[in-house]
Structures are given as structure tokens and as C-alpha cells.
């Protein structure tokens, strides 16, 4: 590695991109769902852990589908955003199936530094 005199910490040793996380299944891209396009102008993904919970809810209850679940999550997130300060993270509750879950929506830079959204459980990073 070539030393960079302008960077006191040196160069990047390794970075794990959002695209890699989606390809690896760590994140699930939700941007292509119509309901996501209706609610969000930014790319949105969720953690695999949250996705597994969403899939379990759909298996347990035939009346639950991905559009309805994503609509509920998006609506609750937007309600919390409206009442939030300028933070890049909002916490909110949403009912998935028969249980109420505390979720987190994070807005941060994606692979190209453009803003992206990531949904996860409140205890995930």
C-alpha cells in the first residue's frame, strides 16, 4: 500500500459495500416493490433478520402480503419522521402479524455517497 501523506489514518484497508451486502443476502433490496416506490424516493433495503420476520408473518397469515406489510412499515416510519428532529435514525413501532416490533430506519450514504434508507430491528446496526 502506498502511504498517503494527506490522510493521517492511511488508506482504506477494506470496505464492505451495500451492493455486496445485498448480493450476500445480509440486506434485502426493497426498492423494486411498487409500494416502496410509492412511499420512498430513495433506495431502501432491510436487514435479512427483518426480512425473515416479514416472510414468517406472510407464511402464518394468508391475509398478509408484502405490499401490505411494507405499506404498514413505511407509514409508521413516516409518521415518526414527521415528529423527529434532523437525526439520521428514527425508531418506531409496527405490528407485524400478532406482535409489535420496534424498528429502526437509518438514512445514510450508499456506495456512491448518495443517500439510502435501511430498515432493521432497533437492536441491529
pLDDT in tens, 99-116: 999 999 999 999 999 999
62 inside domain: yes
Owning domain of residue 33: 18-121
What pLDDT, on a 0 to 100 scale, did the predictor assign at position 27?
99
26 inside domain: yes
1 inside domain: no
71 inside domain: yes
Residues 15-41: tens digit of each pLDDT: 899 999 999 999 999 999 999 999 999
The mean pLDDT of 78-98, rounded to a whole number, is 92
Q: Structural domain tally of the chain? A: 1
Instruction: Round to whole Å and give the CA distance between 65 and 59.
Output: 9
51 inside domain: yes
11 inside domain: no
- Listed in sequence order, the residues at least 6 apart from 18 whose beta carbon sits closer than 8 Å to its beta carbon are 27, 45, 110, 111, 116
Instruction: Answer whether residue 42 shows pLDDT above 80.
Output: yes
| Cβ atoms 46, 28 nearer than 8 A | yes
Instruction: Round to whole Å and give the CA distance between 44 and 31.
Output: 5
Cα–chain center distance at 78: 13
35 inside domain: yes
Amino acid at each position: 500500500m502506498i502511504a498517503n501523506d494527506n490522510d493521517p489514518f492511511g488508506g482504506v484497508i477494506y470496505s464492505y459495500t451495500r451492493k455486496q451486502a445485498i448480493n450476500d443476502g445480509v440486506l434485502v433490496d426493497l426498492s423494486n416493490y411498487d409500494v416502496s416506490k410509492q412511499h420512498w424516493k430513495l433506495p431502501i433495503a432491510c436487514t435479512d433478520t427483518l426480512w425473515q420476520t416479514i416472510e414468517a408473518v406472510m407464511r402464518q397469515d394468508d391475509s398478509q402480503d408484502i405490499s401490505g406489510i411494507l405499506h404498514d412499515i413505511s407509514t409508521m416510519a413516516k409518521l415518526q419522521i414527521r415528529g423527529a428532529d434532523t437525526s439520521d435514525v428514527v425508531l418506531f413501532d409496527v405490528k407485524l402479524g400478532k406482535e409489535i416490533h420496534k424498528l429502526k430506519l437509518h438514512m445514510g450514504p450508499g456506495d456512491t455517497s448518495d443517500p439510502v434508507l435501511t430498515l432493521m430491528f432497533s437492536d441491529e446496526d
